[in-house]
Amino acid sequence: MTELAIIQDAKVLPNDTFNKLSEIEDKIIEGYKNRIIFRAPYLMEVSVLNDAKHPTPDAKYWQANLERSVMYRNLVMLSYDYRETEADIEIKKVMMDEQIKKNTPLSRAKAMKLSVQIERLQTQLVGMKKEADDQAREIVGWTEIMDKLEPELEFSATDQNEHMAKSYPLRFARQKELMQQVGASDMNGAMNILSLYATAFNNPKTLKLIDEGR
């Protein structure tokens, strides 16, 4: 059963409103398939690895490693959630069959409720698969960024502590400079905006678009 069929079956919308949704179903489905759940590659480089917070290739490398590790762990945990949801579906199917066999008004109502719960869980499984696919995309993306940064590393690629004596003073110096520039009451917010601005306009993709007059 499609999501649109679920909406129709529930009769939560008047017919004219449902018909409008039905007319654009293909566009909704296509947009759903193409959406990015987590961070787009551009934001990974510009927002997460912005030059103010991560001023050296080493700093960017290790932050990318952290982001990849977190996303990988989340994918492992999601895999457990997926398997548990599959088990929940099987349990509810057994419970539903037991209620159907009783064949009383109450048991039939309970079976109907269990059927709805099963459908909801099956829909959740579809969402989990999409989420897992996007997590995998981001894990691969962080790995590609790290591979690109590795030839530029000045310090160890196995000992995170080594780069900090250089990267962090540079980070604090840039933040201090930004604070002096803005003189704003919300220093963290101002520094975030300014660092994102600086990183975005140093991004090769953005510079290429500017050169093309786009």
CB atoms within 10 A of CB 117: 15
Instruction: Report whether pLDDT(186) > 80.
Output: no
pLDDT of residue 196: 64
Rounded CA separation 163/63 (Å): 12
What is the distance, to the nearest Å, from the Cα of residue 205 to the centroid of all Cα atoms in its chain? 22
The dihedral over CA atoms of 44, 47, 51, 53, expressed in degrees to the nearest 10, equals -100
- What tokens were used for 113? 């409720």
| In a shared domain, residues 20 and 69 | no
Of residues 3 and 145, more confidently modeled:
145
- Angle CA 30–142–50, to nearest 5: 100
pLDDT digits (tens, 9 = 90+) for 125-174: 999 999 999 999 999 999 999 999 999 999 999 999 999 989 888 887 88
Residue 68, domain extent: 57-155
pLDDT digits (tens, 9 = 90+) for 27-79: 999 998 889 999 999 999 999 999 889 999 999 999 999 999 999 999 999 99
| In a shared domain, residues 191 and 172 | yes
- Which of 72, 67, 74 has the alpha carbon at shortest distance from 50? 67
Rounded CA separation 63/207 (Å): 24
Contact 115, 93 (CB under 8 A): no
pLDDT of residue 52: 85
At 1, the pLDDT band (50, 70, 90 cuts) reads low
Rounded CA separation 30/197 (Å): 32
pLDDT digits (tens, 9 = 90+) for 101-121: 999 999 999 999 999 999 999
| In a shared domain, residues 119 and 169 | no
| In a shared domain, residues 61 and 138 | yes
DSSP secondary structure, 81-125, as one string: HHHHHHHHHHHHHHHHHHHHHH-SHHHHHHHHHHHHHHHHHHHHH
| In a shared domain, residues 71 and 149 | yes
160, amino acid identity = Q
In the numeric block, the tokens 């080493």 are attached to: 58
pTM of the model: 0.82
At 94, the pLDDT band (50, 70, 90 cuts) reads very high
| In a shared domain, residues 28 and 68 | no
Q: With respect to residue 68, please indicate whether it lies within any of the assigned structural domains.
A: yes
